[in-house]
């Protein structure tokens, strides 16, 4: 019921503000005996870390994760794993202007209205820095999945930046790690670099669409109604800062299809059912089919921009605001590892839930 | 943790299959003293009821709700409200062909793989009949909101059928109840009638996009991270059968915007902050702003169609399937009252959560 | 989070008042494929049913359970099982006197203070009739345990009535079913009959201590801190009406022991560890040892008695009350099957939880 | 659902092992605006701290608490409060003997059987060190209660050590803080000192009974069935290490009473109902009456003793064990502040729950 937790059996509670001493994740329910090291978690955190290219915020955070509990002699003990990341670069003076003014499009105003708290040092709990804790927790989930589903591969990438989509015909998994945008289309990477440079220089920002796929998910994960795999994925992705839309498979486009066009036809392959297409995104009736699970989410543009915008102060006076600080021109870039982490957490949770209720493996056989 | 429940303090657990004796909702956490009558709930159920026009399934279900507990002398007692709806028209013979074959695009195959159960009488727990229980529970939520937020107005409508959108310039709230599609654009209603007639006759089906708005939501509902109002709305809508995408405010389109275009500017009105636009859909950083909360979701086309599709049987043989039965050519139509019900449940839950943690009303004042 | 639910993965939500149309249990999380029939559940309900001897309330309730969902062709489907019991004998006129007066020792007054609701027909949600729903749900749990732990045996009995304990040297499991008190000591059964007859005639009532043992529980169920097996057992038993104390193993008496007297020494038997005694009640550090799990709970005397007691009315006037109605002179008798049901539910829940996190069976081997 | 969390709206998750780098509590759901300082929390921690008299373990732990999040400018923000306590004195060499042998009466063996993990440095997650985190979290709960229920007073004390009870006629609240046992009876304090000295020197240990009372609890907290105030108190206390029994009001003794003796008669006082006695321990039907809430729990004797006991090794060999280390001869002493902390957490949680569902204050008026 905690408002800062997600997951059922594999349950992650994050804590910490952008300008407090530290932030982290309390990870409960990890199976025992899973190899977990700070180094392995750091690998994932480094992918999300700010300041890695000119396209992300220049805030300098080491994002070094410490494991404070739940791991003994290199393996998980089955008890809570506490992951802590110290905040080291908190130049809060940059934020001086926002102590009294609300940034349009930012949580400043609602946070104040709800709690009566204005953390003038930064976004407090609303800051995207919180996602570092998710990535660390996702690293634990990946480690457990490595034991339970060794063939699982989770891949996130950017498929749209602002109005510019990719050419899916040019999709190359290898390309994803080669450019600063995690985009699988080399030409798009090149084009977007110029586009984003222009935006950055003009002090503006832009949104993006992230796609996360998971190959090797067995059939049978999920449940028919509220415990649906897609329900939990939608919640997980929508809970990421700045996300405004979530799609499974064809997503919003499914509305435009006829039933005959939408249904993925089924034939029998040597290892079980084979589908002619994947409009469903690997999930039917809330339960995984065994196809690739495909989720997309839209990240809105950063609201902390240099372009002056009309706003009000806490005392209700009308004014303008320009947010200096060190912000991401396209915060969607750093959302890629976050989306992967959420996918890992949700999948592990459903593997454990399924094992709890049904036992290992699917229960109904085909053929 | 129940896989068939949603909500935190206002918690709804639905139960029942399409062809069992009954289905219903166990509604826990309703405040005491709320006027609740079967008649009032029936009003909402009748909107979702099948067989009301030629555009919905001809299955004849009275969908009469009985209140078995939690209401005494016309008001809620504060204890669980049990809502039961008997299934009366279960012509399961129509489904004969699907006992052995899996319908492409339907939960048949994953349900079997997960549970080893094949309810040859119909979709079992995956059937859209489950949404009747949601609508009944939503009626209770609306009654409680009527007491706690008397100015709240929740309105669902269809904004796209298949490839055909509405003209937002022609939006007329009054029109929504006048046509069988819950569409606010009279011209669209007329055009879609012809389009859907054609589809229905050809034995095909089509998807839709539903939009649900809530006016009169106070600022301060929600939380910055996993207990976000938008996270719970996304989960609520994605948990509805056949939904493949969920959007808040600008949704997926937010990705295409720049920060300067996306930010809703703020000025000061006589009663508090006033926003120049509502790209945010009434939610910033997971917390309501006081603007209209706007959610959209895409419903894929019904997979039970007359067009023959390739599939396999439980024993793994390849075959074709034609689903006769009595199905909705556009199941999105009946999803409108369901989306409204989910909105009501989520809002009530967050009103209670906010009151629990913070007390009545927002805590930070402006002006 | 529902206030009317218990359990984690095997989750039971009960609903219904003593004088409403029906009551029941929504049982979620049962594994699929478990044989469940109304007849088998009725067997357990009949043990709790009122009016079976002169020592229990003469209210005539058939307590017939209907399965409304979640079971298909005699086995559980893995979806929610709705169990409904109609109230048939609701002679609420007997309760007329309590419409305005609060019964001392009864929930009347607190229920009113909390909810502002006074169900003058009876105890509303506070009535012990609610426990019928628990027994029905416990029947489902037993059925699932019959598949997962076929050697498990759960036995409840009464070990104290009023001030009279049993002679443990005379314990005979066979005797439990032969007398109206579920007492394992034939002599006690005889003595208590006379004692309770006297009390009943004088219009008074008396408390009792119930003991529930579970043999065949594998080692490894539970968790070290809040998810302890004993924490959940304590909560489960304390949630039964009129229970005021719960003990595991030696319980309150453990306080009087020295460490050397309390520790159950361990030797090695052919099938694993063997303990010299069972002070621990089968649970160490929140986790089952493989010994018999032993729980005891104290049931206070019924507060609805014929002896006049001072009280006040809703309007604050001082008065006296005599509760006529049809009440149990020792409600502890009917708590025996309820305690067994709660034990079954908790054990099944922990079997599923353990399987979810750790997989089948204990993980650490000995020898 | 986390196995290391307790509470509904005020939710505490503890983490950390006895010999890891740190332990702590993630506290979610605290109302915003509550004054919280490390100094105030330290006050409560110092009461539980080891090494304060010769009657507690000589392990030297500063138990200094750091607030890592959720507090800004001295008040809670409404977001998760992370409380961390570094482990500083981890002389694990003392525990060498227990790496292979299981201590009888200790969680060593079940922890191994469940997780396959043997933390030879100490008790791992089963150590009573975990309770430091509870006391810290309880300090936050007390701070919030100080705002919401300023008249509330929570007092824990020891009422039995080994076989020796107190003389309730000599009860003096002032005495509790004057002796090392938190006992309200000065004569008992003197007698127990000699008794415990003897036990300590002989290398043995002994159990205790702790009583925690809360005065100033308003009527109406709790719920009639599983969300009972007493259910949550029973779970909270039973979850403390070494607790084997929990009682509310008369507790196990209620079984021996007749209905006429047990019922607390009600008269009308100037401020509302007045009760002639408090057999109920301030709770009727799961809901607080406004009287003092009284809980007792039994703590078994420490199992780490110098007296040799028979046991087995991980490889199944029979042997004897003597636990040197630095252990508490009566661990019940340090359980007093822990019991108080759990009382505070449960009460705050129910204040928030009641406010969430019903609003501020009781709903039904008397008089």
Q: CA A95 to CA D105: how far, in whole Å? A: 57
Put simply, the answer to whether C258 touches D204 (Cβ < 8 Å) is yes
The neighbours of chain A, by the rule of 3 or more Cβ pairs under 8 Å, are B, C, D
Q: Which of A2, A357, A358 to mutate to test the interface with C (most CBs of C within 10 A)?
A: A357
Average pLDDT over residues D95-109: 84
Q: HSE of D54 in the Cβ direction (CA atoms, 13 Å)?
A: 8
Report how far residue B184's alpha carbon sits from residue B174's, in angstroms, rounded to the nearest whole number: 7
Q: Residue B85 — pLDDT band, cuts 50, 70, 90?
A: very high
Which residues on C lie below 8 Å from B26 (Cβ)? 13, 15, 26
Average pLDDT, integer, range D77-90: 91
Question: Which of C124, C223, C231 is nearest residue D238 as measured by Cβ atoms?
Answer: C231
| pLDDT at res. A53 | 77
Q: Which helix (H) or strand (E) holds A155?
A: strand A153-161
What pLDDT is attached to residue D96?
61
* Mean pLDDT for chain D overall: 92
CA separation for the pair B60, B64 (Å, rounded): 12
Interval C259-264 mean pLDDT = 92
Confidence band of B56 (pLDDT split at 50, 70, 90): confident
Q: Where residue B96 falls among pLDDT bands split at 50, 70, 90? A: low
| pLDDT per residue as tens digits for the range C51-91 | 677 777 766 778 899 999 999 999 999 999 999 999 987 66
Neighbours of D (≥3 Cβ pairs closer than 8 A)?
A: A, B, C
The mean pLDDT value for B188-207 works out to 93
**pLDDT tens string D165-220:** 999 999 999 999 999 999 999 999 999 999 999 998 888 899 999 999 999 999 99
Query: Is the CB of A147 inside 8 Å of chain C's CB atoms?
Result: no
Cα angle C351, C352, C356; round to 5: 120
The nearest CA of chain C is from the CA of B71 a distance in Å of: 9
pLDDT for residue C171: 97
> C78 contacts in B (CB within 8 Å)?
114-115, 117
D223 near C3, Cβ under 8 Å? yes
Torsion-angle region of A286 (φ positive above 0: left; ψ -120 to 50: alpha; else: beta): left
Q: Which residue of A has its CA nearest to B118?
A: A364
**For D217-241, what is each residue's pLDDT tens digit?**
999 999 999 999 999 999 999 999 9
| Partners of residue B353 in chain D, C-beta under 8 Å | 9, 356
In chain D, the residue whose alpha carbon lies closest to the alpha carbon of B225 is: D79
Chain B interface includes A254 (CB < 8 A): yes
**Alpha-carbon distance B201 to B188, whole Å?**
20
Test B11 with C23 for CB contact under 8 angstroms.
no
pLDDT in tens, C110-149: 999 999 998 888 788 988 899 999 999 999 999 999 999 9
When scoring B13, B23, B123 by the number of chain C Cβ atoms within 10 A, the one with the most, hence best to mutate, is: B13
Q: Do B355 and D356 touch (CB under 8 A)?
A: yes
- As given in the structure block, the two tokens for residue A199 are 């935006």
Give the helix ranges, DSSP H, for chain C: 38-48, 108-115, 130-148, 186-201, 229-238, 259-262, 332-358
Q: What is the DSSP letter of B300?
A: P
Asked whether the beta carbons of residue B224 and residue D359 sit closer than 8 angstroms, the reply is no
Helix or strand (DSSP H, E) at C350: helix C332-358
* Predicted pLDDT at B95: 59
Q: Taking all residues of chain B, what is their mean pLDDT, rounded to a whole number? A: 92
- Give residues 103 to 122 of D whose Cβ lies within 8 Å of C: 103-118
Return the bridge partners of B320, or none.
B310
Side-chain-facing half-sphere of D309: CA atoms under 13 Å: 30
Task: Tell me the C-alpha distance between C67 and B20, whole Å.
Answer: 10
Distance CA C221, CA C229 (A): 7
Secondary structure element (H or E) that encloses residue C42, with its range: helix C38-48
* pLDDT(B358) > 80: yes
> What pLDDT, on the 0 to 100 scale, is given for residue D356?
97
> Distance (Å) from the C-alpha of residue D355 to the closest C-alpha of chain B?
5
Residues 6+ away with beta carbon under 8 Å from C192: C161, C164, C181, C183
pLDDT block averages, 10 residues each, chain A of length 367: 89 94 97 97 88 72 92 96 89 65 92 91 87 97 98 98 97 95 97 93 93 98 96 98 97 95 95 96 97 98 85 94 78 95 98 96 86
User: Is the confidence metric ipTM above 0.85 for this complex?
Assistant: yes
Tell me the mean pLDDT in the region C1-18.
92
Question: For testing the chain B interface, which of D27, D355, D357 should be mutated: the one with the most B CBs within 10 Å?
Answer: D357
Grade residue D100 by pLDDT with cuts at 50, 70 and 90: confident
Which CA distances in Å does B105 have to A201, A274, A294, B310? 47, 13, 15, 11
Q: State how far the Cα of A320 lies from the Cα of A363, in Å rounded to an integer.
A: 61
Question: How close is the nearest chain A Cα to the Cα of B93, in Å?
Answer: 23
Phi, psi of C175 (to 5 degrees): -70, -25
Q: What percent of chain D has pLDDT over 90?
A: 79
> Under an 8 A CB cutoff, do C28 and B66 touch?
no
CB of C5 within 8 Å of a chain B CB? The answer is yes
Contacts of D359 in chain B (CB under 8 A): 31, 355, 360
Taking contacts as CB-CB distances below 8 angstroms, the residues of chain D near A70 are 15, 17
Range D242-259 average pLDDT: 97
What is the model's pLDDT at position D1? 56
Residue D93 has pLDDT above 70, yes or no: no
Whether D160 sits inside 8 A of C256 (CB atoms) is yes
The DSSP letter of residue A258 is: B
> Residue C221: which pLDDT band, with cuts at 50, 70 and 90?
very high
Band of pLDDT at residue C93, cut at 50, 70 and 90:
low
Partners of chain C (3+ Cβ pairs below 8 A): A, B, D
Q: Which two tokens stand for residue C340?
A: 């067994």
Residue A235 confidence (pLDDT)? 98
Write down the pLDDT at residue B325: 62
């Amino acid at each position: 019921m905690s408002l800062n937790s997600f997951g059922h059996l594999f349950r992650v509670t994050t804590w910490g503000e952008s300008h407090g001493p530290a932030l982290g994740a309390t990870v409960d329910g990890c199976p025992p005996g899973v190899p977990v090291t700070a180094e392995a978690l750091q690998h994932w955190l480094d992918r999300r870390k700010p300041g890695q290219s000119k396209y992300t915020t220049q805030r300098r955070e080491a994002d070094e994760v410490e494991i404070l509990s739940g791991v003994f002699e290199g393996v998980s003990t089955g008890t809570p794993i506490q992951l802590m990341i110290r905040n080291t670069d908190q130049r809060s003076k940059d934020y001086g202007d926002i102590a009294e003014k609300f940034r349009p499009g930012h949580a400043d105003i609602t946070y104040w209205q709800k709690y009566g708290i204005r953390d003038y040092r930064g976004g407090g709990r609303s800051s995207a820095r919180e996602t570092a804790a998710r990535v660390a927790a996702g690293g634990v989930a990946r480690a457990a999945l490595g034991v339970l589903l060794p063939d699982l591969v989770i891949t996130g990438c950017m498929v749209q930046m602002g109005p510019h989509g990719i050419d899916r015909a040019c999709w190359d998994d290898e390309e994803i790690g080669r450019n600063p945008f995690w985009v699988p289309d080399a030409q798009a990477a090149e084009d977007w670099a110029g586009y984003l440079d222009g935006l950055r220089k003009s002090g503006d920002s832009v949104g993006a669409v992230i796609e996360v796929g998971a190959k090797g998910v067995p059939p049978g994960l999920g449940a028919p109604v509220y415990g649906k795999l897609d329900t939990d994925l939608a919640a997980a992705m929508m809970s990421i800062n700045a996300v405004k839309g979530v799609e499974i498979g064809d997503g919003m486009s499914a509305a435009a299809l006829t039933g005959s066009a939408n249904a993925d036809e089924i034939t029998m392959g040597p290892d079980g059912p084979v589908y002619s297409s994947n409009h469903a995104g690997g999930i039917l009736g809330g339960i995984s089919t065994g196809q690739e699970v495909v989720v997309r989410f839209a990240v809105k543009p950063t609201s902390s921009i240099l372009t002056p915008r009309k706003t009000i102060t806490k005392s209700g006076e009308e004014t303008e605001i320009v947010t200096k600080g060190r912000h991401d021109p396209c915060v969607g870039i750093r959302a890629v590892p976050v989306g992967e982490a959420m996918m890992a957490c949700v999948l592990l949770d459903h593997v454990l839930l399924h094992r709890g209720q049904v036992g290992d493996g699917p229960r109904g056989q085909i053929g």
